[in-house]
């Protein structure tokens, strides 16, 4: 019997490798590919108002277009004193999608008069599984910490240089990839999703 294929709604090879390792650790044997394996399928607009809604939108769209099971995630930074913002707008907080430096600088400016004890924040990720028959599963993972007053570190991306995880003296951008993956919001969400993938796809124990 051929190995079952699962599609991850991303064109980021690092994300595919990360989920591949998590599924392998869980003893799940399947073929994982990114969305770039299906270039004819257009990217989905993230029109949801929560991370879970956006992840489900992407997973369902890919599952319907390919008739294969699909996984998607959506994530962002939630700042307590801002009522959870930037949240789903994290990647376009400064106005245009993906401008990491502008997003980070705008957020630091907005928090410039907020003292360290009140700079609690967390990264949040929702990971969703959708099957062609409409079956869906969604889970979440968080990485809590405190926002620094200035960026530190050259690793990671997005807001990594200013979030210092609880219990750490370094920012996410100062951690090694292995250290970050072990505690990251996306890693936690994908690890929580792995047994649901096994169950939904009937892959046994």
CATH number, domain containing residue 90: 3.90.950.10
Instruction: Examine residue 140 and state whether it is found in any structural domain, yes or no.
Output: yes
Instruction: Examine residue 108 and state whether it is found in any structural domain, yes or no.
Output: yes
Residue 181: predicted pLDDT: 85
- Between residues 13 and 112, the one the model is more confident about: 112
Residue 24: predicted pLDDT: 87
Token pair in block for residue 95 = 């106005």
Domain count of the fold of the chain:
1
Q: Which of 74, 100, 113, 166 is catalytic?
A: 74
Instruction: Examine residue 35 and state whether it is found in any structural domain, yes or no.
Output: yes
Tell me, yes or no, if the pTM score tops 0.85.
yes
Rounded-to-integer distance, Cα 187 and Cα 194, Å: 11
Instruction: Examine residue 183 and state whether it is found in any structural domain, yes or no.
Output: yes
Q: Which of 33-42, 79-88, 118-127 has the lowest mean pLDDT?
A: 33-42
113 is catalytic: no
Residue 1: predicted pLDDT: 46
Residue 200: burial class (beta carbons within 10 Å; 0-12, 13-18, 19+): middle
Find all residues with CB under 8 Å of 115, minimum gap 6, and list them.
none
Instruction: Examine residue 205 and state whether it is found in any structural domain, yes or no.
Output: no
- Which residues constitute the domain of residue 136? 5-200
CB 88 within 8 A of CB 54: yes
Tens-place pLDDT, residues 4-57: 899 999 988 878 888 888 888 888 889 999 999 999 988 888 899 999 999 999
Tens-place pLDDT, residues 123-173: 999 999 999 999 999 999 999 999 999 999 998 889 999 999 999 999 999
């Amino acid at each position: 019997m051929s190995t079952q294929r699962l599609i991850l709604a991303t064109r980021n090879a690092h994300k595919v490798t990360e989920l591949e390792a998590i599924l392998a650790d869980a003893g799940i044997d399947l073929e994982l590919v990114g969305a770039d394996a299906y270039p004819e399928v257009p990217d989905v607009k993230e029109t949801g108002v929560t991370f879970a809604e956006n992840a489900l939108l992407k997973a369902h769209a890919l599952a319907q277009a390919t008739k294969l099971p699909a996984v998607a995630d959506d994530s962002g930074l939630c700042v307590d004193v801002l009522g959870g913002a930037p949240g789903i707008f994290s990647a376009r907080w400064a106005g245009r999608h993906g401008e990491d430096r502008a997003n980070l600088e705008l957020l630091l400016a907005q928090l410039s008069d907020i003292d360290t004890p009140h700079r609690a924040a967390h990264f949040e990720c929702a990971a969703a599984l959708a099957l062609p028959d409409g079956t869906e599963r969604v889970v979440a993972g968080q990485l809590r910490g405190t926002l620094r007053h200035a960026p530190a570190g050259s690793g990671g991306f997005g807001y990594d240089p200013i979030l210092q995880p609880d219990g750490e003296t370094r920012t996410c951008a100062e951690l090694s990839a292995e250290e970050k993956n072990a505690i990251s919001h996306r890693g936690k969400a994908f690890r929580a999703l792995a047994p649901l993938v096994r169950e939904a796809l009937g892959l046994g124990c």
